[in-house]
Structure 1
Amino acid sequence: MALSEREQQVLRDLEKQLGAEDPGLAQTMTAADKRLGRPTPRRIGAGIALVLGGFAVVVAGVAIAHDLWSVLVGLVGFALAVWGITLMLTGPSRPADESSSPARGGRSGGSGADRPRSRFMQRQAERWEHRRDH
């Protein structure tokens, strides 16, 4: 259920107030939210495909002669299914440089090659905030 405009405004005000009163906690919560992330439809689709493929490989392992190869094929199928489930339940991985603060400021010297990327990431963050607020 979507929040009303008033409820969204109250939440934004509470976030601002938390940031002003306890910036360390606000930063920790923001970092945790970025790390966890939500799975994308592409990751969910790939996960479902891996689970179905894994089950198909397990069935193929059972269908072939019952020996060492059958067990190995079954284990590979099981591993594919587990990988698919893990892929569906986790959000996209974040690059290591995004979670650290050197790209945001306080950096002297350094190459100019990082600047366009940091501006790009900043624009993306602003767009995300704009979409989230509306």
Structure 2
Amino acid sequence: MALSEREQQVLRDLEEQLNDEDPSLAETMQHAERTLRRPSPRRIGAGIALVLLGLTVVISGVAVGNGIGSILLGVVGFALAVWGVTCMLTGASPKDSAAGSGDVKRSSSFMQRQSERWDRRRDSRN
């Protein structure tokens, strides 16, 4: 849902007030926003696939019976499931960012445009 012009103005005023009162906190918040990474749908899908594969390997280890093979299959299945969960929960790695550099360029130029618009608005009020 889009914000009304009044709500946008209130947010701009609050951000300006935060910049004036505590510039170090404002810088920290801007840095955190830039470095915040979300996992991609591809990574989530790969993680789910690994978890399902791990569970399948664990179940097949139980079906094999008692012995060293069963234990090894259980350990491998558990490791696959853990790997899948970590894959789902982690953000994009630097390799993934380099692979999708077109997306990064688009989002950085978008953010750059937003920053320029913000600066123009702030300058026009002064």
Question: C-alpha separation between the residues in 2 aligned to 1:126 and 1:16?
Answer: 23
Question: C-alpha separation between the residues in 2 aligned to 1:86 and 1:76?
Answer: 15
Number of residues paired by the alignment? 108
Q: Report the aligned-residue RMSD.
A: 3.2
TM-score (norm 1): 0.61
Q: Identity of paired residues, percent? A: 55
Secondary structure in structure 2 of the residue aligned to 1:4: coil
Q: Structure 1's 91 and 9: CA in aligned 2 closer, same or farther, altered over 3 A?
A: farther
Superposition map of 1:54-73 within 5 A? 54-73=54-73
Unaligned runs of 5+ in 2: 96-100, 118-126
Structure number with higher helix proportion: 2
Question: C-alpha separation between the residues in 2 aligned to 1:66 and 1:128?
Answer: 58
Unaligned runs of 5+ in 1: 96-116
Q: Does 1:48 align with 2:31?
A: no
TM-score (norm 2): 0.64
Aligned to 1:104: none
Aligned to 2:110: 127
Secondary structure in structure 1 of the residue aligned to 2:93: coil
